[in-house]
Structure 1
Amino acid sequence: MQRSDQKESERSVDDILSGLSLDDDESTPQKQSKRGGGRLSGLFSLRTFLVALVLSIGGLLIGGAIPIVGFVGRFVGIAAVGFLLGIAGSKRHYVEVALAGSIAAGLAFVLSTLFSVFAPFAVQLLADYGLAIAGVGALSGGLAGIVGHYFGRDLKDGLTREL
């Protein structure tokens, strides 16, 4: 609660974080009726998925830029994004994080294969094994995102649970 003499710039941390929430509030009947309100309506949030995808691509690029651990750093970046989304969100977002990590890592595997090998050979390699290369990247990225999200939610649960 704010006092009348308190400045607008001196808002509490809870006020600031409430505006940054990643969760879609579907608790009101009006919002449930607009979106269908079925059993699967709370399973996937497009907004959270888009945030997770942008952050996963950023984490992949930042993690891949580390000189010594560049290849493994990609997956550490995706896991870190999942971890942060697990701590920040109040709901489970395993589907969104896994899908975002899969798309980011799958595209990164295909693009890195395309640009790291001599062009005619890379095109032939992707024509023959492109689906397998993208599949390995997508599976690895999705797994990294899920593991990071799990540990983020677990840490949040441990910090917020009463003793």
Structure 2
Amino acid sequence: MQRSDQRESERSAEDILSDLDLGEDESSSPPPTQSGGGKTGRFDGLFSARTFLLALALSIGGLVVGGAIPIVGFIGRFVGIAAAGFLLGLVGSKRRYVEIGLAGAIAAGLAFVLSTLASVFAPFAVQLLADYGLAIAGVGALSGGLAGLVGHYLGRDLRDGLTRDV
């Protein structure tokens, strides 16, 4: 028998995931209710700030780790972002495409701009970003968002295949 203070301090993985809005199954969620006269609509629960922050941290971590690979550093960044999306798709049961795509886009867009500043002579880099900064950030954001979405889709697909009855 455990003491009550031990049971409170030992949380299961399901409890932690449910706090992050990742562990709840879509089919087991209760039907939407109206509280306080407010309407619940189709887009309730579309965006979770906690999941977004987790996805952003994982995307930045994957970008850094993937970029540290010596020969394939540039491509490794996108593999790292895709791996972050894959991990969140594999662990969570809810679809979180908005959060994953936005986190991958922000991480890669900032990485493209910062790598341009760091890799080119400073006065030239400032002029280059003044002329083409939006295009550079846009290409990075688009490619990072796509990498995160593809990774999340593949993670959800694998999870579905592993949990489906044979």
TM-score bracket for this pair, using the shorter chain length: 0.7 to 0.9
Q: Which residue of 1 aligns with 2:114?
A: 111
Q: Please report the RMSD computed on the Cα atoms of aligned residues, expressed in angstroms.
A: 2.5
User: How far has the Cα of 1:20 moved from its partner?
Assistant: 2.3
Distance 1:59 1:37 in 2: 36
Matches within 5 A, 1:1-150: 4=1, 16-21=12-17, 22-23=20-21, 27=30, 33=35, 37-150=40-153
**Paired positions, count:** 156
User: How far has the Cα of 1:127 moved from its partner?
Assistant: 0.3
> Can you give the 5+ residue segments of structure 2 that lack an aligned partner in the other structure?
none
User: How far has the Cα of 1:16 moved from its partner?
Assistant: 1.8
Task: Determine helix, strand or coil for the equivalent of 1:71.
Answer: helix
Distance 1:104 1:36, change over 3 A: farther
The list of structure 1 runs, each at least 4 consecutive aligned residues, that deviate by more than 2 angstroms after superposition, is 24-30, 32-38
> Can you give the 5+ residue segments of structure 1 that lack an aligned partner in the other structure?
none
Higher mean alpha-carbon deviation, 38-47 vs 63-72, is at 38-47
AA aligned to 1:45 is S
AA aligned to 2:131 is D
Question: CA deviation digits over 1:115-142, x for unaligned, max 9?
Answer: 1000000000000000000000000000
Distance 1:68 1:36 in 2: 53
Q: Which residue of 2 aligns with 1:151?
A: 154
